[in-house]
Amino acid sequence: MGIASDFVLIVVAGLVGGVLARMLRLPLLVGYVAAGVLVGPNTAGPTVTQIREIELLAEIGVALLLFSLGLEISFQDLKPVRRIALAGGPIALSRHSAGALGESGFAG
């Protein structure tokens, strides 16, 4: 089986998972996650075989999604949170960097 059959398997599993979640009155995301677990490489049954290619397609999809979200946001939408973002961004970055440095000291 190639990448095309893996892609079809993922789309069909997502469709079935979404329909089942909707029938059970659960969020669609629950159905999508359940479908991903069922067709993942670590479960029995039908599974994807071209794991690296599927991961690459997922990374490309995330990059395109973030790009399209960036196109949708205008500076006018960001104006109300400008002070919080300009102050909180560097604070969060420095705290996470310090935490990573501290953790790397413990890891050796």
- Record the tokens describing residue 91, joined without a space: 């604070």
- Record the tokens describing residue 9, joined without a space: 């398997």
Give the phi and the psi of residue 100 in degrees, each rounded to 5: -65, -40
pTM: 0.61
Write out pLDDT tens, residues 46-100: 888 888 888 898 899 999 999 998 888 888 888 888 888 889 989 999 999 998 8
- Record the tokens describing residue 52, joined without a space: 């690296």
Neighbours of 21 (CB within 10 A): 19
Please say if the pLDDT value at position 1 is more than 70. Answer: no
> Burial of 40 by CB count in 10 Å (0-12 exposed, 13-18 middle, 19+ buried)?
middle
